[in-house]
Amino acid sequence: MSHLLSSMLFTRRYFSNHFWRNDKRFITSHYHGRSCLVISQKKYLSSTSDYTTAKIQTDLKKKKYPLGLSGAVYYAKYPNEYYQNKFATKDEHKITFKHQSDLPDLPIPSLEKTLTKYLETIKPFVSSNEEWFQQIDLVKDFEKNEGPILQKKLLKYKNNCVSSINNNNWLNEFWDNQGYLQYDAPIVPYVSYFYCHKPLPHKLIENNMLFKATLLIENVLEFVSKNQFEKIQPNPTKFIGKLCNNSFHMMFNNCRVPYKNGEMNQDSNVFHSIFENGFIIVCYKGNFYKINVYDHLNNTFVKRHEIFYQLMNIISTGTCDATNQTSGIGSLTYLARNIWRKAYAELTQNNPINKNSLEEIQKSMFVVCLDESNEPVTLEEKSRNSWHGDGINRFNDKPLQFIVCKNGTSGCLAEHSKMDGMPTLLLNEYIWKKMSKDIDNEVNYIEDLVKYHNDNNLSIYKENTQPVKLPFMITPNIQKYIDLGKQTFDKNVSEHDLKVWHYNRFGKKIIKQNWKISPDSFIQQVIQLAIYKLVGRQLPTYEAASTRKFFKGRTETIRSVTPESHEFVKTWCQSTSTHQEKLDSLHKSINSHSEYSKLSSNGQGIDRHFFGLKNMIDDGSQVPKLFQDSLFNYSSTWYVSTSQLSSECFEGYGWSEVDDNGVGLAYMINEDWLHINIVTKPLKSKIDVNKLHYYLSESANELFEILNKI
């Protein structure tokens, strides 16, 4: 897998909502009127008031907390013995966060390098010599006047971030708030991303919703346990160095919330300890059920037949009860965020029932959606169901939703504000491999589930493990919001076309072994050539590069359109070009892309730097002419948004376009096959997904023929 370049995804970013009170001993975070000690400067994280002490060692020397605790709220409620057992593992056996203290801080490139690189990237979009010289003058003016002032401010800001007790990198707060939490469009379909799991080899399990859901939950809980004990391998491959794993601490027991201390202009995130809440939420027919998956008496997760029993109970209750109408609450999470914030405030104001039910969802480990009404078969149907569902049977604010359909088709929907793609990819790979390989006899597995369900001796057990349906009080005005959520969903989904390009002629193995070129750079050439064939020109193209080699690093932009790529697509489409000219232009474009990818992964890209400089402009100050320039803004409008996350365990992965006039291309490069999920709004972008699908195949075939003649 080419993990380094694609930890992911496009824009929209992650978390912060906690307000700190500093003194010499501790920092306190306030959330909904409750107070808890978040990070102790002594050596431990400890809870206050009636909460039990939980001790978590931190690296104070560099203030880089191995568990990624800074900025999160934790409540401890269980007995001391429970926490002591959980934290009894010796440090040398904990591997997930072992590199955190060694990671360098995210750098800030020099102003000169960024401006020089910027001029290179806009060359393909310059229409005349006059326009080119105008751009040079704009850059020189910025480099001489506002640029150094803003650069100095940004460097000072970086130093303050690094030296603070919270020890953020300089980009995080700006990126998380402006890219994600202040973003007002619905997060589904516009922000969240999805995976479609390959079918399991165990057909009896694969084709049954409850058998499949039980197996999936069992293996997700196993991953949760590994996360608790810090047993997740920090580096996906031996070829990648030390990476930041802060995101692994944000997977479970948390939620995005359309509320920030009364402010209505952005969301927040609430976090709970991964050791605290031993339950998950199951969504069935638009209702939400709390099921316990942790045995607190024995400090272990429950057995698989106990999970199965609770799922059976939900299905039987939800099917037989004629009054069991959908609450409709899930539809609210399809609203534009500014509207959802208003609905959330009304839903929870002076209503402890609604408030408590929402908090149960928020602090649960994760959500499982049982889509009994859906039986997707084609790749497009599976992708759509994992991506946006039916507009009812989801709670899109949760970071992780696992979806299982009536025919056993499964997938995962990930909310993007806390995590980029790599952590969720590793999680889904883990559970798929465990589901597909760890069952020696599926008949015995099924019999093990069913025999306990039919055992009359479990009457006491059954009484104590009933799933709890979360109640909601729906006022007429809230019902209007729910109806609006459904209408918003219908409109957004109907505006989108989705087409899957699944290509089996060759894959990573041939690209690397036979042609000796970068698979990621290769697929970017396929994309550039296909777009050029389709619209007759190149469009500004975003590719996500991972910056996880830095502390709390997330992503940087790879600008895939370069002078070399421009020459490549022109040469390739000219009938007079020779075989050698095409080949030379291809290799030059690949080398240029590979070099840009390395720069971006090393924190030397230009787009996050420009973003930081813009945030140093004082309110009321004049915006530099460079930042107002039409070409400057056009070159960073991502009409083609791309990102790679590759896995042999998936048959689908994707998200939406970033710009309404563009296209989203999420791709996988596997050993023997290539895969691109194509999404666009055709009425706005004028992009025909079927034609783009055709040109992707034509471009891949042409490159294959040329490279095989070497």
Sheet holding 34-40, edge to edge: 20-22, 26-31, 34-40
**Contact at 8 Å (CB) between 293 and 301?**
yes
Ramachandran assignment for 22, one of left (phi > 0), alpha (psi -120 to 50 degrees), beta (any other): beta
**Which has the closest alpha carbon to 547: 151, 233, 246?**
246
**Which has the closest alpha carbon to 247: 120, 96, 378?**
96
**Catalytically annotated residues:** 416
Compute the distance between CA of residue 283 and CA of residue 330 in angstroms, rounded to an integer: 9
Pairing mode of beta strands 268-271, 400-405: unpaired
Q: CB 10: neighbour CB atoms within 10 A?
A: 26
**Which has the closest alpha carbon to 355: 344, 364, 366, 365?**
344
Compute the distance between CA of residue 462 and CA of residue 453 in angstroms, rounded to an integer: 9
Cis, bond preceding 189 (omega within 30 deg of 0) = yes
Compute the distance between CA of residue 430 and CA of residue 427 in angstroms, rounded to an integer: 5
Q: CB 56: neighbour CB atoms within 10 A?
A: 19
Per DSSP, helices labelled H in 413-546 are 421-437, 442-453, 459-464, 476-494, 508-509, 519-535
| Chain-centroid distance, C-alpha 508 | 24
Q: How many residues belong to the chain?
A: 710
**Contact at 8 Å (CB) between 216 and 427?**
no
> What distances in angstroms separate CA 14 from CA 176, 177, 192, 415, one per listed residue?
4, 7, 12, 9
**Which has the closest alpha carbon to 426: 643, 236, 224, 192?**
236
Q: Hey, is 200 helix, strand or coil? A: coil
Provide the sign of the torsion angle of the four alpha carbons 434, 435, 441, 444, taken in this order.
positive
**Which has the closest alpha carbon to 529: 519, 520, 539?**
539
**Contact at 8 Å (CB) between 440 and 287?**
no
Q: Tokens 């999970």: give the residue.
A: 307
Q: Tokens 């709890």: give the residue.
A: 468
Q: For 655-693, b where at least 16 C-beta lie within 10 A, e where not — what string? A: bbbbbeebbbbbbbbbeebbbbbbbbbeeebebebeebb
**Which has the closest alpha carbon to 416: 569, 593, 575, 191?**
191
Pairing mode of beta strands 468-469, 650-654: unpaired
